[in-house]
Amino acid sequence: MPTYVQHEVLGRIPDVFNAEAIWQAPGFALFSRRPLLRDLLERCPREQRGSSATRCFSHVTLRLPQDDVDDDYHLTRGNRARELVQSLAALHQKDFGDLLGPDQVRYHVTGADDLHAGEIEVRFGHAVYLPGPDEKVLFNVSASTDSAVWKPVCPVYSEQRLALLDEGTVAGWPFGAVGSLLLINEGPDAPPVLQVRPKDAFDCRFDDRQGCYVVTAKHNVQGQRLLLKVARVGVIPAPAAARSSRPIPPAVWQPRPARDESTALPAAAQRAAFRPGESDATFAPGARQRITLAALALPRLSRYRSTGATALSVPFDRALAIAAGGEPALTFVVDADDALHAVTPAGRERIDAPATFSPAGERSIRVLAAPPQLAERYCALVALPVPVASPVTQGSFGRGTTALARLRVLDMPSLLGRDAATAAASPDRIGLSRTAFAFDASAQGLSITRQSATQALYHLDAELRFVAAIDGDAPFLLPPGHHIVAGHYVLRFDA
């Protein structure tokens, strides 16, 4: 396998801004001198025929001790660093001009805290690229280990051919020195290609639902994975847009797995299997009618500033069930300004709906934009991968009723942040009346009668699309498979 990045630390450089001292040692003590930048470029050509170099690398990055870079900035406004770049480029052009062809010589200087005084690290190679002054970014690469917190990795420029992704470039890289990923830019009119190096180091597939690559090591500890997004910047050229606007999946080493539909939007046709502790539903003949908590409606807390509420947290465990305790794998947080955040052990990040998250890899959770008719009251809907169900006949629903009480999963004061002057209160006090509505189940549907004049109720269809607001005191018939929104809860009637 070729070496995509050549890097070497040059030591004992008296003046790290002296281009001649970095490029080539003085004198003729050829057998005793240390290899410097010129020697390294000569020994590692870009292309060669037999033992003769036919092409030389032209892009070089230099890492200098951070103290020296800071001193240069303080004393000369970075003038010595600029002179170093210009001098090295001139030496490079002078000694290797016949091996450059159309390539431009480019150098870049940066500081590094891990280098000692008199040390310089040089990097060049197939995957080292320095953009031109007016060159545009074509793709942005970001990485995550939990699908919630995404950290930038690197940009890919329009003329850049390769980008190497490994433990040295990707924050949180979970695989150590096992292997690396190579992103290949085929040009502005083609999607990029992601390849594994060596090819048996990882399993790599493209997840259509999350819009990212999922990378797992073939022989790693269970649960270790890396998610990569390659996002195109700007307008996609017409030929590429006609074919695809997504990166193509790595189809060389394995077929794409069958698409998992188990985490699609909850609907009557896709009911969760019974699991102890997750559902009280009875599936015996004659007792199939039940109400299922299918989603959560995250409120706009700005509507409730007078209550002192500052944040609402909705935690999920690794199985993406509502977390009753312990360290959650993923928490959605709405702040006092209605901004929505995803919080994981890796950090906190602002998110926008729609979005999909898979913090543990087993299943996904979807955050949907609230229908426009609900947007004034709610900022998003969270479709539950693990719905909670209860058998029903008749009764009432609200924060002061016992019927369907187990469906009120947010009835915990610890989930509601508040200012110091406000007493502890359950999130259910925001938007849910003591008796919101009465219900009576029948074969035709769920008859609903609003019990509080101030309670907002909404009818959504099987796909969580808005149908109507439920006003007045007249009974309303909710068809099987449809949903009613009351407070934070999106309830589905199953028959």
116 pLDDT more than 90: yes
| Cα 215 from chain centre | 13
Q: Is 82 helix (H, G, I), strand (E, B) or coil?
A: helix
In whole angstroms, give the CA distance from residue 387 to residue 363.
13
pLDDT at 245 over 50: no
- Tokens coding 225: 């994975």
Q: Which residue in 366, 355, 382 sits closest to 299, CA to CA?
A: 382
Listing DSSP states for 312-355 in one string gives: EEEEE-TTSSBP-SS--SEEEEEETT--EEEEETTEEEE--SSE
Distance CA 409, CA 117 (A): 59
* Burial class of 133 by CB neighbour count within 10 A (0 to 12, 13 to 18, 19+): exposed
Contacts of 395 (CB under 8 A, 6+ apart): 401, 403, 404, 438, 439
Tell me the sheet residues that pair with 180.
Answer: 197
Q: For the segment 61-83, what is each residue's pLDDT rounded down to a tens digit?
A: 999 999 999 999 999 999 999 99
290 pLDDT above the threshold of 80:
yes
Q: In degrees to the nearest 10, what's the CA dihedral of 20, 25, 26, 32?
A: 180
Give exposure, 440-477, as e/b (b: 16+ Cβ within 10 Å). Answer: ebeeebbbbebbeeebbbbbbebebeeeeebeeeeebe
Percent with pLDDT over 90 in the chain: 64
Beta bridge partner(s), residue 216: 203
User: In whole angstroms, what is the distance from residue 107 CA to residue 129 CA?
Assistant: 10
Tell me how crowded residue 32 is: count the other CB atoms within 10 A of its CB.
Answer: 7
Mean pLDDT of 237-252: 40
DSSP state of 12: -
Answer whether residue 278 shows pLDDT above 80. no
pLDDT per residue over 208-222, tens digit each? 888 899 999 887 556
- The SS3 assignment for 125 reads coil
- Region of poorest pLDDT, from 221-230, 352-361, 427-436: 221-230
- Does pTM surpass 0.85? no
Across the range 42-70, mean pLDDT stands at 94
pLDDT band at 223 (very low <50, low <70, confident <90, very high): low
Task: Note the pLDDT of residue 27.
Answer: 53
